[in-house]
Amino acid sequence: MWSWVAHRVTGVLIFFFLFVHVLDTALVRVSPEDYDKVVATYKTPIVALLEYGLVAAILFHALNGLRVIAVDFWSKGPRYQKQMLWSVVGLWLVLMLGAIYPVLGHAAQELFGS
């Protein structure tokens, strides 16, 4: 059940990110100066943490979506759904650990120096 909830929550979060992304990109046509100010705020460590959360949401949503497809279309899928869920969680954790430096490296350098 929790994977169902997490799948819906990550889907909604991704949708809201895309909505905000379209709005801030459209701002370049309305006011380039304000667009530059908004983009400057994206270089802060707090936004880097939000980006890491976005990567986590997209990655979980994608991996769990593949699991849902396997459960729906593979004849043995329902029998192995628990094992596939733990495989998704394990792969997600490994990939998220690998994403720490590429996503948060700049924020760490800004906060703690190089």
Residue spans of the domains in the chain: they are 1-112
- Give start and end residues of each alpha helix (H) in 1-114: 2-30, 32-41, 45-73, 81-112
Known binder of ligand: residue 106?
A: no
Taking the complete model, does pTM exceed 0.75, yes or no? yes
Nearest to 55 by CA among 97, 108, 3, 109: 97
**55-110 pLDDT tens trace:** 999 999 999 999 999 999 999 989 999 999 999 999 999 999 999 999 998 888 88
Task: Report the alpha-carbon distance of residue 34 to residue 44 in Å, rounded.
Answer: 17
| Per-residue pLDDT at 77 | 87
- Residues of the chain above pLDDT 70, percent: 99
| Per-residue pLDDT at 83 | 95
**27-53 pLDDT tens trace:** 889 888 989 998 898 889 999 999 999
For 13-28, what is the mean pLDDT? 93
| Per-residue pLDDT at 63 | 97
The more confident residue out of 114 and 87 is 87
The CATH number of 1-112 is 1.20.1300.10
88: three-class secondary structure by DSSP: helix
